[in-house]
Chains A and B, each alone.
Chain A
Amino acid sequence: MNTDLPVIEIQNLVRRYGKHDAVNGLSLTVRPGKCYGFFGRNGAGKTTTIKCLLNLLRPDSGTARVFGLDPRKDEVAVKSRLAYVPDMVAFYPWMTVRDTLEYLASFRTNWNRDIENDLLKRFQLDATKKTTSLSKGQRTQLALIGAICPEPELLVLDEPTSGLDPIVRREFIETVIGAYQSGDPTRRTVFVSTHLISEFEGLIDEFTIIESGQNLLTMEADAARDRFKKIRARFNQELKLDLSGALNVKRSGREMEILANGNSEQLLAELKAHQPEELKIESLTLEEIFVASDVLKKANV
């Protein structure tokens, strides 16, 4: 297997609903073994993009490739190597948990029974229960078991933890790390779209922020935290400093909060020259970078 071949490659993807451009020229590349975050506000085009990867929607133009294949032409080959957990999971109401897992397993060439048993135990799911009697959290857990047992090369998660309680969310992420990532690292790629960025922060290697169907920012997580920093300074009097190099400056009397975009050293030096009473610097978390999207857009970074 060619390990350099991107698992997902999207180029200039466009998908319209009527006159509305849901996805408008998006490009991104997910390399094997990575956990890729896909962040965007409601309606930014995340789910539409994912549906194009799964051939649930057809692009109007541009290309979406999964494992180097076109999901429209090689749908079965693509789908047999990935698993998908949507935000709203639905099961056949007449089936039990056991029936549902057997049904899902019947479509797969590989199904790891040990993982299935471990996860049923871990989530304390009763296999004899009807799917209609499961809570929202339990339904998501069942969907996750169904996605991990085939040991797919790609796990696609679309807002998987929204609407779940914090303990279920935590277990979900631990399961993705533990049960899914414990296989051959080059054949364990995660593509996750989420609003709950802070919970996935430690898992994300690289991310894209999508805005109005376009790529606003793509970076590696460590590099992003190194580049975007927040500096807080307090002086003994109000100062008129020229901080034009900053991404954003908030002032309140003698205090200021400055957003640095890869130039924190230079900004720190300028501030230090005015003998601050207090000077603190910290990295922005991925969630804070996402929240700062508007500022990023204006600054054209």
Chain B
Amino acid sequence: MLLQIDFKSGTPVYLQLVEQIRHAAASGGLRTGEPLPSIRPLAEELRVNRNTVAKAYAELESQGVIETIPGKGCFLKEVGSPLTKSARNDLVIQEIDRAIVAAHHLQISDTDLLALVKKRLDVFERKNKAAND
């Protein structure tokens, strides 16, 4: 899993790390039980404040994405959300609504949007498959 920071993105640095690690977890870049890089070497490599990496890991832990095993480090957790199905749906609906609004403003038709969603699902599936082979 390679991470990179873009200061021009407008997203706070710690959230960029959170999003990229979640993305890696969803696309097979990081597998269940695999260790995440330790805070110090990752901070050095990205040349970001150590506290920023610690904050990203704390956020991922509170979201239930990773777990810290004392003395061993941080690991990707088994997929299993503590939230109920309807709560999980609500969270995804917010994201879908955002994509629908963006598509509307960019004059992308409903059919094209659905086709794009399907295409992206395939991309993630292929990546996941490649990572597990």
Shortest C-beta distance, B17 to chain A (Å), equals: 11
Docked complex Cα distance between A255 and B8 (Å): 20
Give the chain A neighbours of B13 by CB distance below 8 A: 202, 222
Is A133 interfacial (CB 8 A cutoff)? no
Interface residues of A in 1-41 (CB under 8 A from B): 33, 35
Interface residues of A in 250-301 (CB under 8 A from B): 272, 281-286
Shortest C-beta distance, A132 to chain B (Å), equals: 31
Assess the A178–B44 pair: CB atoms within 8 A: yes
> Which A residues contact B (CB, under 8 angstroms)?
33, 35, 170, 173-174, 177-178, 181-182, 185, 199, 201-205, 222, 225-226, 229, 272, 281-286
> Which B residues contact A (CB, under 8 angstroms)?
5, 7-10, 12-13, 40-41, 43-52, 54, 105
Q: List 8 A-B contacts (CB under 8 A).
A: A33-B51, A178-B50, A201-B7, A222-B12, A225-B7, A226-B10, A229-B10, A285-B8
Docked complex Cα distance between A243 and B111 (Å): 36
Docked complex Cα distance between A285 and B8 (Å): 6
Docked complex Cα distance between A228 and B52 (Å): 21
Assess the B7–A285 pair: CB atoms within 8 A: yes
Assess the B47–A283 pair: CB atoms within 8 A: no
Assess the B49–A282 pair: CB atoms within 8 A: no
7 A-B pairs besides A177-B47, A202-B13, A282-B10 with CB distance below 8 A are A178-B41, A178-B44, A181-B40, A182-B40, A185-B54, A281-B10, A282-B9
Assess the A174–B47 pair: CB atoms within 8 A: yes
Assess the A178–B12 pair: CB atoms within 8 A: no
Give the chain A neighbours of B51 by CB distance below 8 A: 33, 181, 185, 205
Assess the B9–A185 pair: CB atoms within 8 A: no
Shortest C-beta distance, A166 to chain B (Å), equals: 12
| Chain A residue at smallest Cβ distance from B47 | A202
Docked complex Cα distance between A285 and B5 (Å): 12
Question: A174-B44, A222-B12, A226-B10 given as contacts; is B52 within 8 A of A202 (CB)?
Answer: yes
The 4 A-B pairs with the shortest beta carbon distances in the complex, nearest first, are A202-B48, A181-B50, A283-B10, A282-B8
Assess the B50–A177 pair: CB atoms within 8 A: yes
Docked complex Cα distance between A225 and B12 (Å): 8
Question: A178-B43, A181-B43, A272-B105 given as contacts; is B10 within 8 A of A205 (CB)?
Answer: no
Docked complex Cα distance between A162 and B10 (Å): 28
Count chain B CB atoms within 10 A of each CB in A203, A204, A284 and give the residue with the most.
A203
| Chain B residue at smallest Cβ distance from A223 | B12
Give the chain A neighbours of B50 by CB distance below 8 A: 177-178, 181-182, 185
Give the chain A neighbours of B12 by CB distance below 8 A: 222, 226
Give the chain B neighbours of A199 by CB distance below 8 A: 47
Partner of A177, one of B7, B9, B43: B43
Give the chain A neighbours of B46 by CB distance below 8 A: 202
| Chain A residue at smallest Cβ distance from B52 | A202
Shortest C-beta distance, B104 to chain A (Å), equals: 12
Question: A177-B43, A178-B40, A178-B43 given as contacts; is B10 within 8 A of A225 (CB)?
Answer: yes
Docked complex Cα distance between A56 and B12 (Å): 37
| Chain B residue at smallest Cβ distance from A229 | B10
Docked complex Cα distance between A222 and B14 (Å): 10
Give the chain B neighbours of A226 by CB distance below 8 A: 10, 12
| Chain A residue at smallest Cβ distance from B49 | A203
Give the chain A neighbours of B10 by CB distance below 8 A: 225-226, 229, 281-283
Question: A202-B52, A222-B13 given as contacts; is B7 within 8 A of A286 (CB)?
Answer: yes
Assess the A283–B48 pair: CB atoms within 8 A: no
